[in-house]
Chains A and B, each alone.
Chain A
Amino acid sequence: RKEVEQDPGPFNVPEGATVAFNCTYSNSASQSFFWYRQDCRKEPKLLMSVYSSGNEDGRFTAQLNRASQYISLLIRDSKLSDSATYLCVVNPAYSGAGSYQLTFGKGTKLSVIP
Chain B
Amino acid sequence: IAGITQAPTSQILAAGRRMTLRCTQDMRHNAMYWYRQDLGLGLRLIHYSNTAGTTGKGEVPDGYSVSRANTDDFPLTLASAVPSQTSVYFCASSNLGTDYNEQFFGPGTRLTVL
By a CB distance below 8 angstroms, the chain A residues around B50 are 98-99
In the assembly, what is the distance between CA of A105 and CA of B37, in Å? 12
Q: How large is the interface on A (under 10, 10 to 19, 20 to 34, 35 or more residues)?
A: 20 to 34
Size of the chain B interface, CB-CB below 8 angstroms: 25
Contact B40 A106, beta carbon cutoff 8 Å: yes
**Contact among A32, A34, A42, A46 for B107, CB-based, below 8 A:** A42
By a CB distance below 8 angstroms, the chain A residues around B48 are 99, 101
Q: A43-B106, A43-B107 are known contacts. Are A102 and B101 too (CB-CB below 8 A)?
A: yes
Stretch at the interface among B13-21, B66-74, B75-83, B92-100: B92-100
By a CB distance below 8 angstroms, the chain B residues around A49 are 100, 102
In the assembly, what is the distance between CA of A101 and CA of B94, in Å? 10
Q: Is B103 an interface residue (CB 8 A)?
A: yes
The residue in chain A whose Cβ has the minimal distance to the Cβ of B39 is A106
Q: Is A60 an interface residue (CB 8 A)?
A: no
In the assembly, what is the distance between CA of A43 and CA of B88, in Å? 10
Closest 9 CB pairs of A and B: A43-B105, A106-B42, A104-B43, A100-B101, A32-B100, A98-B50, A49-B100, A104-B42, A44-B105
In the assembly, what is the distance between CA of A98 and CA of B1, in Å? 29
By a CB distance below 8 angstroms, the chain A residues around B45 are 101-102
The residue in chain B whose Cβ has the minimal distance to the Cβ of A49 is B100
By a CB distance below 8 angstroms, the chain B residues around A46 are 102-104
Q: Is B31 an interface residue (CB 8 A)?
A: yes
In the assembly, what is the distance between CA of A59 and CA of B23, in Å? 34
Please, what's the 1-or-0 string for A16-58, where 1 marks a CB less than 8 Å from any CB in chain B? 0000000000000000101000000011111001000000000
Q: Is B61 an interface residue (CB 8 A)?
A: no
In the assembly, what is the distance between CA of A53 and CA of B33, in Å? 29
By a CB distance below 8 angstroms, the chain B residues around A45 are 105
> How distant is B42 from chain A, measured CB to nearest CB, in Å?
4
By a CB distance below 8 angstroms, the chain A residues around B58 are 101
Q: Is A97 an interface residue (CB 8 A)?
A: yes
Q: Is A91 an interface residue (CB 8 A)?
A: yes
> How distant is B71 from chain A, measured CB to nearest CB, in Å?
16
Given contacts A42-B108, A104-B42, 5 further A-B contacts (CB under 8 A): A43-B108, A44-B43, A44-B90, A49-B100, A102-B103
